[in-house]
């Protein structure tokens, strides 16, 4: 089974036509990969479907806008993948 | 339909909150300046307006599901297919259903039929944000009344 990062990187590469080998765990989706908010909706949809979760984009955006979090916490891919793993674990635990 | 005001929907026929589906009716006007240019001697409803009718239909479904607390704004149109001409005077039945409800966005599938025959369909993405100001919210309330939005269908 592929890792969360491998799945997310593949989703980003296919959704945004970004060469897969340029996507690393340290990549910032916005600052490094140039993904805009509209493309990120497509990525969020693909992630939601692939992992059976609902990325809390509204909550994350609010936290960033309020200065309670940085974009790095949610949009650097290794951090994004950690959040995905947490959401999957929470879903599994509540099932 | 009042094309000059971009009011593409006339009436909500059915809003099914359990199945998350909506059906609306939209009467294409017999006469409009749009048809003078699109096209002389062969008047047809522009495809972009058919897409808009599907977007507005989807939008009302999303407004209902979000109990007017979020407003849907068109973000992306995918797989839009114009399968047949829509001509002046025809009555459209527009249906929409939910593909995915995300956080701050949603995706719908919508179809336009005339006399039961599919004329176009599309997959549409919306971003969902709170009403930008009280005036906007009042306008949406007025439109809801005009198109027979079934307020009783909303969960209390």
pLDDT, tens only, A24-33? 999 999 999 9
pLDDT of residue A28: 96
- Over 70: is that where the pLDDT of B94 sits? yes
Which pLDDT belongs to residue A2? 65
Q: Is A55's CB within 8 Å of B102's CB?
A: yes
Q: Which of B75, B100, B107 sits opposite A38 (nearest CB)?
A: B75
* Residue B103, min C-alpha distance to chain A (Å): 5
Name every chain B residue with its beta carbon within 8 A of the beta carbon of A40.
Answer: none
- Both tokens assigned to B126: 């919306």
* Chain B residues within 8 A of A42 when measuring between CB atoms: 76, 125
ipTM: 0.86
Instruction: Give residue B154's pLDDT.
Output: 79
User: Once rounded to an integer, what is the mean pLDDT over residues B60-69?
Assistant: 95
Nearest one of B4, B20, B3 to B155, comparing CA atoms: B20
Q: What is the mean pLDDT of residues B4-26?
A: 96
Catalytic residue list contains B100: no
* Mean pLDDT of all residues in B119-136: 94
Q: What span, in angstroms and rounded, lies between the C-alpha atoms of B69 and B98?
A: 18
Question: Rounded to the nearest 5°, which phi and psi values hold at A32?
Answer: -95, -40
Smallest Cβ–Cβ distance between A38 and the set B76, B100, B102 belongs to B76
Instruction: For chain A, give the percent of residues with pLDDT over 90.
Output: 92
Residue with token string 């908010």: A37
Question: pTM here?
Answer: 0.91
User: Percent of chain B having pLDDT more than 90?
Assistant: 90
3-state secondary structure of A81: helix
Contact A48 B100 (CB under 8 A): yes
pLDDT tens-digit profile of A34-55? 999 899 999 999 999 999 999 9
The pLDDT, as a whole number, for residue A1 is: 46
Arithmetic mean of pLDDT, B48-64? 97
Of B100, B102, B104, the CB nearest to A61: B104
| Per-residue pLDDT at B137 exceeds 80 | yes
The more confident residue out of B154 and A63 is: A63
């Amino acid at each position: 089974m592929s890792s969360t990062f491998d799945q997310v990187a593949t989703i980003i590469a296919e959704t945004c036509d970004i060469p897969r080998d340029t996507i690393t765990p340290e990549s910032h989706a916005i600052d490094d990969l140039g993904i805009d908010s509209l493309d990120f909706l497509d990525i969020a949809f693909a992630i939601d479907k692939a992992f059976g979760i609902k990325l809390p984009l509204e909550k994350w955006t609010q936290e960033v806008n309020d200065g309670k979090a940085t974009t790095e916490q949610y949009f650097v891919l290794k951090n994004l993948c950690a959040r995905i793993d947490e959401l999957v674990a929470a879903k599994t635990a509540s099932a | 339909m009042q094309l000059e005001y971009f009011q593409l929907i006339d009436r909500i026929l059915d809003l099914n909150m359990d199945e998350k589906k909506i059906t609306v009716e939209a009467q294409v006007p017999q006469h409009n300046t749009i048809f003078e240019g699109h096209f002389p001697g062969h008047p047809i409803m522009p495809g972009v307006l058919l897409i808009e009718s599907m977007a507005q239909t989807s939008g009302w479904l999303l407004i209902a599901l979000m109990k007017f607390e979020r407003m849907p704004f068109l973000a992306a149109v995918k797989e839009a297919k114009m399968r047949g001409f829509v001509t002046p005077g025809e009555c459209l039945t527009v249906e929409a259903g939910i593909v995915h409800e995300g956080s701050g966005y949603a995706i719908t599938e919508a179809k336009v039929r005339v006399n039961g025959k599919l004329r176009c369909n599309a997959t549409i993405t919306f971003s969902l944000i709170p009403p930008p100001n009280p005036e906007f919210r009042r306008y949406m309330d007025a439109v809801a009344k005009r198109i027979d939005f079934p307020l009783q269908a909303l969960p209390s």
